[in-house]
């Protein structure tokens, strides 16, 4: 052991083993029940991850008994023996495993972990009784321990350690665990749970970080968009321009205001809003433009502000994925429009442990209105001059965000370094890597999203998934082709760049704690598969739908359901059934959707917290 590990004392050996055990058990405990039921590759047929608990506990019991026997004077055979034989167990290895698995399957999971912990403690106690020279001898009990541990470690490595997730929240949590727990305890000891000292402090700290006068913490990124749109005066019948290549919450928030989303295409290179397309979409009804800083890269705001400023059009930044990224004028995302909207969803560069969001602005009047709107419209407790929302940021999330905000710049720097490494490793592979701007600070790589042309994206994703590498598609179906957006009247082919991007994008693992070794493996597997992947035939992008698109999808009014916040499409009551069908068929004969119909009824609006999102 001394030759291979550098361990020279019994105390070091036991501490090393205990530390390795603690790391492995933490990984196991961190898995969901679904993950625990997944198959284990490289083991016997039918093995699941949870079976490793029984397997590991059994071997640690056998090793503990062996250590006790050796400590009592029973010599370990020179060769030709194993733990089962040394302990007088006649059953075969397969029989032992099957028996142990049946026993553990009949017990609650907590009891199984408790038995594993008990077996480990017994082994540690037995090893501690051995003389140091025997514990460190390569062929003595340490050899038993090392062989047994290596066997389990190979299984754990195949299933857990070598699996590289898209985002590893546990890895980040491990670096701040003590601070987070202390902060949560402090909040719970005070029992100030909503809009207390942590929310007020975070609002100040985040505003200072972004470079704005105000930051208003809210319950989610969707809340931020919805409140910002309302505060900017968007009302029923108004038009709001945004992109089709975005997470659905961007458009949801527009619909919540009973306004009409006007979608535009994206730039081929950056996959962000095309300013020329925005200029062509402006009408007398345009009330706001929502540029989406996607994947961590910021949209060029200078041309958009130029378009907006002479027309009294508000620029509302969707900065949900761009915490800390710089704009084209050198300020930070969230400081370039009238308001900036942030999501602190758990996977974001700055993420809460749940849902949270923020709105940034330099407008004093707007900030006061937003603070009232987030808390049911009240300026003084129980006095409600306007109807607002339940969109408060809670104290626990604010306390966690304050801890993470102090590390955000360092984490963003690491993400940029990883992106540069990815680009170097994937060069020449045929995969289109994301462009790193001339000022690298304009991209914080919330995701590392490549493009896989030639219809090979899905095959590559499956290949990587089969090898334990997590990926995601951001986003497979553009907004204009979503079933719930059919009433807007868009069709396949309306936004060719967006549709091409949706067929090709693939996000690879990206998080600040991603190691160089993990990245090398991801890049290696990606280029290996790419070099021998057959070309797939191109196919149209379609959202799942219970019925195909028909002419009747045009010219309808979408009304939010009062109870759930869902939108249902129904013909306008002002038309007869025959007239409605005739007008709808006529409007569908053009490539441009009609802007005459107001998409949402203003009579009922879903509450902001009714929208569930995985990214905003």
The 3-state secondary structure of 519-549 reads HHHHHHHHHHHHHCCCCCCCCCCCCCCCCCC
Question: Is the Cβ–Cβ distance between 392 and 218 less than 8 Å?
Answer: yes
Question: Is the Cβ–Cβ distance between 455 and 307 less than 8 Å?
Answer: no
d(C-alpha 411, C-alpha 202), whole Å:
19
Determine the pLDDT at residue 112.
84
pLDDT tens digits for 111-157?
Answer: 888 888 888 888 888 888 877 655 655 444 444 444 444 444 443 33
DSSP state string for 45-62: TT-BTTHHHHHHHHHHHH
- Strand, coil or helix: 341: strand
Of 109 and 572, which is predicted with more confidence? 109
DSSP state string for 452-512: -TTTTHHHHHHHHHHTTB--B-S-SS-GGGSGGGGGG---TTSSHHHHHHHHHEEEEP--T
DSSP state string for 394-430: BHHHHHHHHHHHTTHHHHHHHHHHHHHHHHHHHTTSS
Question: 286 φ, ψ to 5°?
Answer: -65, 120
Determine the pLDDT at residue 64.
83
The answer on pLDDT for 255 being more than 90 is yes
Percent of the chain with pLDDT over 70: 77
The answer on pLDDT for 17 being more than 90 is no
Please, which pLDDT band fits residue 536 given cuts at 50, 70 and 90? Answer: low
Determine the pLDDT at residue 86.
74
The answer on pLDDT for 76 being more than 50 is yes
Question: Is the Cβ–Cβ distance between 195 and 219 less than 8 Å?
Answer: no
Determine the pLDDT at residue 54.
83
Rounded mean pLDDT of 599-610? 36
The answer on pLDDT for 431 being more than 70 is yes
Determine the pLDDT at residue 352.
98
Q: Looking at the domain 172-405, which fold is it? A: 3.40.640
d(C-alpha 243, C-alpha 286), whole Å:
14
Rounded mean pLDDT of 356-369? 98
Residues in the chain: 616
CATH of 2-162, one of 1.20.120.450, 3.40.50.300, 3.30.1360.170, 1.10.8.60: 1.20.120.450
Q: In angstroms, what CA-CA distances link 443 with 41, 274, 319, 406, 475?
A: 37, 17, 12, 19, 19
Beta bridge partners of 164: 469
pLDDT tens digits for 377-402?
Answer: 998 899 999 999 999 999 999 999 99
Contacts of 466 (CB under 8 A, 6+ apart): none
The answer on pLDDT for 225 being more than 90 is yes
Of 532 and 206, which is predicted with more confidence? 206
Question: Is the Cβ–Cβ distance between 113 and 53 less than 8 Å?
Answer: yes
For 92, the token pair is: 């075969």
Q: Report which listed range, 83-97, 139-153, 418-432, is most confident.
A: 418-432
Contacts of 188 (CB under 8 A, 6+ apart): 396
Determine the pLDDT at residue 615.
52
The answer on pLDDT for 535 being more than 70 is no
Beta bridge partners of 556: 571
Instruction: Count Cβ atoms below 10 Å from residue 29 Cβ, excluding itself.
Output: 12
Determine the pLDDT at residue 137.
53
Determine the pLDDT at residue 546.
41
Between strands 357-361 and 339-343, the pairing is antiparallel
- CA angle 553-504-592, nearest 5°? 30
Determine the pLDDT at residue 128.
83
Contacts of 384 (CB under 8 A, 6+ apart): 376, 377, 378
Question: What mean pLDDT is reported for the chain?
Answer: 81
CA atoms within 13 A on the CB side of 129: 16
Mean pLDDT lowest for which of 36-45, 257-266, 355-364?
36-45
Instruction: Count Cβ atoms below 10 Å from residue 74 Cβ, excluding itself.
Output: 11
The answer on pLDDT for 9 being more than 80 is no
Determine the pLDDT at residue 16.
76
CA nearest 373: which of 393, 391, 395? 391
Rounded mean pLDDT of 239-263? 97
Contacts of 371 (CB under 8 A, 6+ apart): 216
DSSP state string for 580-594: HHHHHHHHTTSSSPP
Beta bridge partners of 359: 216, 341
CA nearest 248: which of 233, 231, 236, 261? 261
Question: Is the Cβ–Cβ distance between 397 and 200 less than 8 Å?
Answer: no
Question: 9 φ, ψ to 5°?
Answer: -140, 160
The answer on pLDDT for 592 being more than 80 is no
Rounded mean pLDDT of 42-69? 76
The answer on pLDDT for 544 being more than 60 is no
pLDDT tens digits for 270-282?
Answer: 999 999 999 999 9
d(C-alpha 559, C-alpha 569), whole Å:
7
Question: Is the Cβ–Cβ distance between 64 and 126 less than 8 Å?
Answer: yes
Domain ranges of the chain: 2-162, 172-405, 408-531, 551-610
Rounded mean pLDDT of 183-193? 96
Determine the pLDDT at residue 541.
66
Rounded mean pLDDT of 240-261? 97
CA nearest 507: which of 422, 430, 421? 422
The owner of tokens 């957006």 is: 485
pTM of the model: 0.66
d(C-alpha 349, C-alpha 445), whole Å:
8
Please, which pLDDT band fits residue 596 given cuts at 50, 70 and 90? Answer: very low
Rounded to the nearest 10°, the torsion over CA 228, 233, 235, 241 is -60
- Strand, coil or helix: 164: strand
The answer on pLDDT for 525 being more than 80 is yes
Determine the pLDDT at residue 532.
57
CA 589, 593, 595, 601 torsion: positive or negative?
positive
Of 570 and 544, which is predicted with more confidence? 544
For 374, the token pair is: 């987030």
Q: What is the CATH number of domain 408-531?
A: 3.90.1150.10
Percent of the chain with pLDDT over 90: 58
The answer on pLDDT for 613 being more than 50 is no
Beta bridge partners of 241: 262, 289
d(C-alpha 452, C-alpha 449), whole Å:
10
């Amino acid at each position: 052991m001394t030759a291979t590990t550098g361990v020279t004392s019994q105390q070091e050996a036991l501490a090393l083993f205990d530390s390795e055990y603690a790391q492995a058990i933490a990984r196991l405990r961190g898995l969901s029940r679904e993950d625990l039921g997944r198959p284990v590759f490289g083991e016997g047929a039918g093995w699941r991850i949870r079976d490793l608990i029984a397997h590991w506990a059994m071997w640690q019991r056998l090793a503990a008994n062996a250590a006790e026997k050796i400590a009592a004077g029973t010599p370990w055979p020179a060769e030709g023996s194993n733990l089962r034989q040394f302990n007088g167990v006649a059953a075969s290895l397969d029989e032992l495993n099957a028996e142990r698995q049946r026993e553990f399957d009949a017990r609650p999971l907590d009891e199984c972990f408790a038995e594993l912990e008990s077996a480990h403690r017994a082994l540690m106690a037995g090893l501690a009784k051995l003389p140091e020279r025997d514990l460190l001898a390569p062929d003595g009990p340490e050899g038993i321990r090392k062989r047994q541990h290596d066997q389990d470690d190979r299984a754990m490595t195949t299933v857990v350690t070598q699996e590289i997730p898209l985002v590893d929240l546990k890895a980040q949590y491990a670096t701040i665990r003590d601070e987070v727990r202390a902060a949560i305890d402090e909040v719970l000891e005070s029992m100030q749970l909503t809009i207390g000292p942590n929310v007020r402090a975070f609002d100040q700290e985040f505003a200072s970080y972004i470079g704005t006068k105000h930051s208003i913490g809210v319950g989610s990124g969707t809340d931020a968009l919805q409140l910002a749109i309302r505060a900017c005066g968007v009302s029923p019948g108004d038009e709001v321009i945004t992109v089709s290549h975005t997470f659905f919450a961007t458009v949801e928030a527009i619909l919540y205001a009973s306004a009409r989303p006007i979608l535009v295409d994206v730039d081929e290179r950056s996959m962000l809003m095309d300013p020329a397309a925005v200029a062509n979409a402006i009408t007398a009804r345009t009330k706001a433009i929502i540029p989406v800083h996607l994947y961590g890269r910021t949209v060029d705001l200078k041309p958009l502000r130029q378009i907006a400023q002479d027309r009294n059009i508000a620029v509302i930044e969707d900065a949900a994925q761009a915490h800390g990224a710089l704009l084209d004028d050198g300020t930070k995302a969230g400081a370039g429009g009238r308001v900036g909207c942030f999501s602190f969803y758990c996977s974001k560069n700055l993420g809460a442990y749940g849902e949270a969001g923020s709105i940034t602005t330099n407008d004093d009047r707007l900030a006061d209105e937003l603070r009232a709107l987030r808390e049911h419209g009240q300026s003084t407790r129980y006095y409600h001059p306007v109807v607002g929302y339940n969109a408060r940021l809670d104290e626990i999330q604010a306390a966690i965000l304050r801890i993470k905000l102090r590390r955000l710049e360092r984490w963003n720097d690491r993400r940029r370094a990883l992106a540069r490494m990815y680009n170097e490793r994937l060069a020449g592979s045929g995969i289109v890597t994301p462009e790193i701007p001339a000022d690298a600070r304009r991209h914080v790589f919330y995701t590392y999203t490549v493009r896989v042309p030639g219809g090979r994206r899905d095959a590559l994703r499956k290949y990587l998934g089969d090898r334990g590498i997590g990926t995601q598609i951001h986003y497979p179906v553009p907004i204009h082709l979503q079933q719930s957006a059919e009433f807007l009247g868009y069709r396949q082919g309306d936004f060719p760049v967006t549709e091409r991007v949706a067929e090709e994008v693939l996000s690879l693992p990206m998080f600040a704690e991603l190691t160089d070794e993990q990245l090398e493996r991801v890049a290696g597997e990606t280029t290996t598969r790419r070099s021998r992947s057959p070309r797939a035939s191109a196919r149209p992008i379609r959202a799942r739908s219970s019925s195909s698109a028909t002419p009747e999808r045009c010219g309808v009014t979408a009304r939010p359901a009062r109870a759930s916040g869902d939108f249902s499409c129904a013909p306008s009551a002002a038309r007869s059934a025959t007239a409605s069908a005739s007008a709808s068929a006529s409007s569908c004969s053009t490539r441009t959707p009609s802007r005459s119909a107001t998409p949402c009824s203003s009579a009922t609006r879903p509450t902001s917290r009714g929208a569930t999102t995985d990214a905003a």
